[in-house]
Amino acid sequence: MEPVLRINNLQVTYYTDAGRARALDGVSLTLNAGEKLGLVGESGSGKSTMALAMMHMIKPPGRIEEGQVIVGDTDLTTLTKEEMLKARLEKITYIPQGAMNSLNPVMRIGAQMVDAIKAHYKSPSKAEMAEMSMDSLESVDLDRSVFKMYPHELSGGMKQRVCIAIGILLKPQVIIADEPTSALDVVTQRQVMETIDRVQETLGAAIILIGHDMGLMAQFVDKVAVMYTGRLMELSTVREMFTNPQHPYAQALISSLPSLDNKGVFQGIPGLAPALLRLPSGCAFHPRCQHTTEICTTMLPRLEQMEGGRMVACHLYTEQV
Amino acid sequence: MSIRKVIERLLFLVVVIWTASTITFFIPRISKRNPIRERFGQLARTGGFSPDELEIIIESYSQKFGLDKPLWEQYADYIGGIARLDLGVSLYQYPKTVLELIQEAIPWTLGLLVVSTILSFIIGNSLGAVAAWPRAPRWLRSIATPFILFMGVPPVLLAVFLLFFVAFRLKALPLGGAYSIGVIPDQSLEFYLDVLRHQLLPALALIFGTVGGWVLSMRGMGVTIQGEDYVLFAEHKGLSGFTIFRDYYLRNALLPQVTGFALALGNMVTSGIVIEQLFGLPGIGTVLYNAIKANDYLVIYGVVLFITIAIATLMVMVELLYPLIDPRIRE
Ligand SMILES: Nc1ncnc2c1ncn2[C@@H]1O[C@H](COP(=O)(O)OP(=O)(O)OP(=O)(O)O)[C@@H](O)[C@H]1O
Ligand code: SF4
Ligand SMILES: [Mg+2]
C-alpha cells in the first residue's frame, strides 16, 4: 500500500534569547491510509511542535530547518504560502488541543464552517455550503441545528465535536488530533474518541493522535510513537509497545502506568526531562537510563529498524551486533 | 435582549435624569445666593434706579420665576418643567429660554465632539489593531507609536500649539470663529467648506489628544486576542490573513472598546468645552462658559443637566445595542 503520509527528517528549532532549542530533531515516519498512530511523550517533548510543523504553522522564533512532510504525492514543505493555505483542511487537518476556546465566540458555528469552505472552493452556493456543513455536523453526531448556534450555547463535548466537524469538512487524508479530549470528562472523552475513530475510518484518513493518556490511546490506535527531547525513541504496534517495550524510556513509561498489580506504588521515571538548551551529550536519556554504557554518553543512537518492523533508537540494540 | 431588560435600562435612565435634576435644583438653592437680586443689583449700580424700585423689580421677577413659592412647590415645578423639556429661562438673555440656547449651540458641539470622537475611535483602534498584528508590515505597525506619545498631552495644550503654529504663524487655517466674518450662513457648499476649515484645528486637537488612548488599549487587547485558540484554529482552517484579521481578531478585540466609546464621549465633552471657548465656536461649551462668567444659574444648571442626560442616554443606548455585537450577552 502506498503510504499517505511520509515525514522525512523533520527539524524545528526555536531561536530563543537563551539560545537555540532544537524542539524537533530529525523525526521520520510513514503512515498508510486508515492507520492510527498515537504520539506520546512527556510535556515539552515536541509533540505539538511536530503537529504545527506538519501544518506549516511554526511561528517565529521557531523555524523549520529541514525535512519533508509528504501527503499523498504532495510535498507540503515545497508549497507556496497560498498553496499551503489550501492544503490545510483539504489534505491535512488539525483538531486543536483547546476546543473550549477554539471557536470564535461572536460567530455562529455555521459561519465558522462556511468561511472555511469559502477559503478553499471557488464560489459554491450558500445552500451547498450550508448543506456541506450540516452533513459534517451530522457525521460527528451533532444535530443539524447546531449550524445556527453560537459556541457559548454548546457544551464542551459539543464544541470538541464541532472542531472535529470543521476539521473533516473537506475530507482530508491526514488528521492530527492534539490531545482532543484533555479537557473533557471521562465519559465524554470516550464518546468523542469513538466519533473521531468513526469519521477517520469513513474517510480512510491516517490519523496522528497526540496525548498523555496511554490507556485511552491503547484502545484506539494501531501504532505508538514515543518521543523524548524532540526525537523518536521507539515506534511500534500498540501490542508490542504495551507488552514488550524495547527502548528503556518506553519501558519506563509503560511500567509507570498504574495497574491493579502495583496499586498504591507510584512509579515514576527518576530524574527530570532535560531542558532543550542543555541537552545531555549522546543519548539524551542517558542520565535517567538504567542501562547506560560508555557509548551512550558520546554517540547519538539512530532510529533503527528491528525485526518485525518496529523502530528503536537505543545503543542496547544497535551496538550488540 | 428581553423587553424586561430594555424597560429596566430605561427606568434606570429616568432615575439618573431625576437624580441629576434634583442635584441641579438644590445646589443653587443651598448656596443662598439670589441671582435675581445680584443681576438687578448690578443694573441698579450702573443704571441708577432707587433701592425701592429695585425691591419691587426683584419681587415681581421672583414671582415670575416662582421663587416666592415654597421650596417643594418650586421643586415640583422644576421637575415638571424638565419632563416637558422646559429648563427655564436665561436671566441674562431673557426672554431666551435655556432650551433655546442649547438648541442653537448643539449642532456645533455635536458636529465637533461627536465627529472627533468617532474619528479618534476609528483611527486609534485601527492603528492599535494593526500594531498588535504580527503579520502586518513593519512600517504599518510602527505608525501607531507617535500617536501614543501624544497621549500625555491634554487636547487643550495641543489646541494652543496648533493655534500658534498653524493659524498664527503659518496662517494656514483661521484663528477661530465658526465661519468667516461677513459670511452669511446658508446651505451652500461654500458655506460648509468654510465651516469645515474653521472646525479643522479644534477637531485635530481633540483627535490627536485622544487617539493615543485608543491605540494603547486596542494594542493591548490585540496582543491578548491574537494568542486566542480561535485565532490559531482559524489559521489551521486555511483562512486568508485578512479574513482572520477582520472576523476573528478585530471583531473580538473591539468588544471592550465599544463599551469605552460612551465614556470617551463624556471625556471629550470636558476637553471640548474649553476648546470651543478657545476657538470661539458657538457651541454648548461657550454657552456654559458665558453663563458661568455671568452667574446665569439656570443656564449653567440647564447645560450641566443636558450634558448629564445626553451621556447617560448614550451609555444606555450602547448597553442596549451591545448584544448586537456580542451574542453571549443575548438571552
Ligand atoms: N514559541 C516557542 N518559543 C520557544 N520555545 C518553544 C516555543 N514553543 C515551544 N517551545 C519549546 O519546544 C519544546 C516542545 O514544545 P511542545 O509544545 O511541542 O511540547 P509538547 O510535547 O506538545 O508538550 P505538551 O505535552 O505539554 O503539550 C518545549 O521545550 C518548548 O519549551
Ligand atoms: S542509548 Fe543508552 S542511554 Fe540511551 S536509552 Fe539506550 S541504553 Fe539508555
Ligand atoms: Mg502540546
Give pTM, 2 decimals.
Answer: 0.84
Asked whether A312 lines ligand 2 (CB < 6 A), one says no
| pLDDT > 90 in chain A, percent | 59
pLDDT of residue A88: 94
A105, A108, A119 ranked by CB distance to B238: nearest:
A119
B230, B243, B327 ranked by CB distance to A102: nearest:
B230
Residue B49 has pLDDT above 80, yes or no: no
Total number of domains in chain A: 1
Cβ–Cβ under 8 Å, residues A169 and A117: yes
Average pLDDT over residues A112-134: 91
Nearest to A228 by CA among A16, A40, A6, A83: A40
Nearest to A202 by CA among A158, A172, A238: A172
Q: How far is CA A229 from the centre of its chain?
A: 15
Contacting residues of B for A103, CB less than 8 Å apart? 230, 233
Band of pLDDT at residue B201, cut at 50, 70 and 90: confident
Nearby residues of A263 by Cβ (< 8 Å), 6 or more positions away: none
Residues B120, B123, B125, B127, CA torsion sign: negative
* pLDDT, tens digit, 9 for 90 and up, residues A37-57: 999 998 889 999 999 999 999
Cβ–Cβ under 8 Å, residues A9 and A30: no
Locate B254 and state its grid cell. 473591539
* pLDDT, tens digit, 9 for 90 and up, residues B33-45: 777 777 777 777 7
Asked whether A38 lines ligand 2 (CB < 6 A), one says no
What is the domain-level CATH number for residue B125? Answer: 1.10.3720.10
Cα A287 to ligand 1 centre (Å)? 21
Residues 3-62 of A with CB under 8 A from B: 55, 57, 59
Burial B97-130 (b: 16+ CB within 10 A, else e): bbbebbeebeebbebbbeebbebbbebbbbbbbb
Asked whether A14 lines ligand 1 (CB < 6 A), one says yes
The answer to whether residue B41 sits within a structural domain is no
Total number of domains in chain B: 1
Average pLDDT over residues B189-195: 80
Residue B1 has pLDDT above 70, yes or no: no
Distance from CA of B329 to the nearest CA of A (A): 10
The answer to whether residue B253 sits within a structural domain is yes
The answer to whether residue B142 sits within a structural domain is yes
The answer to whether residue B192 sits within a structural domain is yes
> What is the DSSP annotation of A40-101?
E--TTSSHHHHHHHHHT---TTEEEEEEEEEETTEEGGGS-HHHHHHHHHHTEEEE-S-GGG
Band of pLDDT at residue A69, cut at 50, 70 and 90: very high
Contacting residues of B for A89, CB less than 8 Å apart? 236-238
Using a CB–CB cutoff of 8 Å, tell me whether A273 touches chain B: no
* pLDDT, tens digit, 9 for 90 and up, residues B55-99: 887 777 777 777 777 888 888 888 888 888 887 778 777 778 888
Supply the range of the domain harboring residue A275: 245-321
Residue B48 has pLDDT above 70, yes or no: no
The answer to whether residue B8 sits within a structural domain is no
Distance from CA of B237 to the nearest CA of A (A): 6
Cα A57 to ligand 3 centre (Å)? 14
What span, in angstroms and rounded, lies between the C-alpha atoms of A315 and A318? 5
What span, in angstroms and rounded, lies between the C-alpha atoms of B75 and B69? 10
The answer to whether residue A47 sits within a structural domain is no
Residue contact A163–B233, C-beta within 8 A = yes
Band of pLDDT at residue A262, cut at 50, 70 and 90: low
Q: How far is CA A46 from the centre of its chain?
A: 10
The answer to whether residue A285 sits within a structural domain is yes
A97, A119, A150 ranked by CB distance to B240: nearest:
A119
Cα A263 to ligand 3 centre (Å)? 29
**Looking at this protein, which amino acid is placed at residue B61?**
Y
Asked whether A44 lines ligand 1 (CB < 6 A), one says yes
B230, B240, B247 ranked by CB distance to A85: nearest:
B240
pLDDT of residue B110: 86
Cα B245 to ligand 3 centre (Å)? 25
Pocket test for ligand 2, best of A234, A302, A316 (most atoms within 8 A of CB): A316
Lowest mean pLDDT among A179-183, A225-229, A300-304, B260-264: A179-183
The answer to whether residue B322 sits within a structural domain is no
Could you tell me which residues are beta bridge partners of residue A224? A38, A236
* pLDDT, tens digit, 9 for 90 and up, residues B202-253: 888 899 888 999 999 999 999 999 989 999 999 999 999 999 999 999 999 9
Supply the range of the domain harboring residue B285: 98-296
Ligand nearest to the CA of A211: 1
Ligand nearest to the CA of A274: 1
Residue A321 has pLDDT above 50, yes or no: no
The answer to whether residue B126 sits within a structural domain is yes
